Structure 1
Amino acid sequence: MISKKDSKNPFIKTPLKCWDIYIQSVFSNKIPGSIEQDKATLEYFKDRFKWDTQWDILEENYDALVLTDLNKHIIWVNQGFKKMTGYSPHFAIGKKPSFLQGECTSTLALKEFKRKLSLDLPFQSKLINYKLDHSTYLCQIHIFPLKNISGNTSHFLALETEI
């Protein structure tokens, strides 16, 4: 709640109105399992961005989900992202996933990752990433381009697993 002065009442409480952040708290309180929570949140984004996709891809094993726009800015991560990396969703949103990379991340692997991304097809890759505590981990990443009803890719969904 934000405090706001008013001539009749010196402090009126008004709620924050950022839907993308709010929606996570709604689903995390009402949906018991994390896969169900992830599907429900992705359904919201599916309606918002008019994706033509099914969520059978979520039947794969994953620790974290990362949703990016075409400019590779993170617009959503699930709660598993914090468990895997130590970074909160609030910290990650708006950044590029490259904030997880460092000196041990292979430049050759990054070039190959970018090449595969440009093909606009699902693919898998492995990268050495860094956690909040600066420790490294090997991340298996499965990327899915998300296409709108016109058939154009508008976002990418990454299913990530620490191996």
Structure 2
Amino acid sequence: MKNNLSKMMSLDIYLSSLSNEEYDSVSSKLDYNFKSLPLLSWDIYSQNRQVNLLESQQEQDILKVKALASTFNWNNDIDSIFSDSDYEALIVTDVTQNILWVNNGFPKMTGYSKGDALNKTPRFLQGEKTTEKKRDIIRKKLSSNLPFQEVIINHKKDGTPYTCEVKIIPLFTNNIKTHYIALEKQVV
């Protein structure tokens, strides 16, 4: 038991430091009949998996927006749009604010399916708690042709109000505004 290499802590580190000849001489003393133990740190595993899943979803969102950019010949730098932006939902509209595409985060945030949103304007998310003053501010900023950020109270499908931070960026083809992209997240 005293010289049982299988019981040695950090055996993998020790073995990786050996030359081929040294390893050959030691390997006959190793017992490779290890028991498979259940993962003891599911919390760490699941937390990392959640982060990886979110990053993967965001990568898919960016690829889809880049495909739309290619289709519509947008002049905007798509990577710069996402470089420092945190979002839950993405909405792409035409210049008349008709929704053409939403990401998978949209149904999670609003309760509306993707199909519910298509061919509507984002105004369908507004309700009794959305102020006319805030609507006017957003209308004026949309006409400025500049990116902007605002906070508005929208309403989920079940009528529950939520505070939404929205970053809206006009998209251009040959210096003509043709679309908008909105990066949205629920805030407290």
Gaps spanning 5+ residues in structure 2: where? Answer: 1-54
- Name the stretch that deviates more: 56-65 or 106-115: 56-65
Higher share of residues assigned strand: 1
Contact 1:35 1:58 in 2 (8 A): no
Superposed displacement of residue 54, structure 1: 1.9
Q: What is the match of residue 68 of structure 1?
A: 93
Superposed displacement of residue 38, structure 1: 0.7
Runs (4+) of structure 1 exceeding 6 A deviation are none
Secondary structure of the residue aligned to 2:107 is helix
Letter in 2 for 1:99: F
CA distance in 2, matches of 1:109, 1:72: 17
Higher share of residues assigned helix: 2
Q: What is the match of residue 87 of structure 1?
A: 112
TM-score normalised according to structure 1 size? 0.78
Matched, 1:129 2:159: no
CA distance in 1, matches of 2:58, 2:175: 26
Letter in 1 for 2:141: K
Q: Which residue, out of 43, 47, 52, partners 2:70?
A: 47
Letter in 2 for 1:66: I
CA RMSD, Structure 1 to Structure 2 (Å):
1.0
Gaps spanning 5+ residues in structure 1: where? Answer: 1-31
CA distance in 1, matches of 2:61, 2:171: 15
Q: Which residue, out of 138, 160, 163, partners 2:184?
A: 160
1:76-115 to structure 2, matched below 5 A, reads 76-115=101-140
TM-score normalised according to structure 2 size? 0.68
Superposed displacement of residue 99, structure 1: 0.5
Structure index of larger Rg: 2
Deviations 1:34-88 (A, max 9, x none): 1111111111111110001222221310010010101110000000001100111
Q: What is the match of residue 38 of structure 1?
A: 61
Identity across aligned pairs (percent)? 40
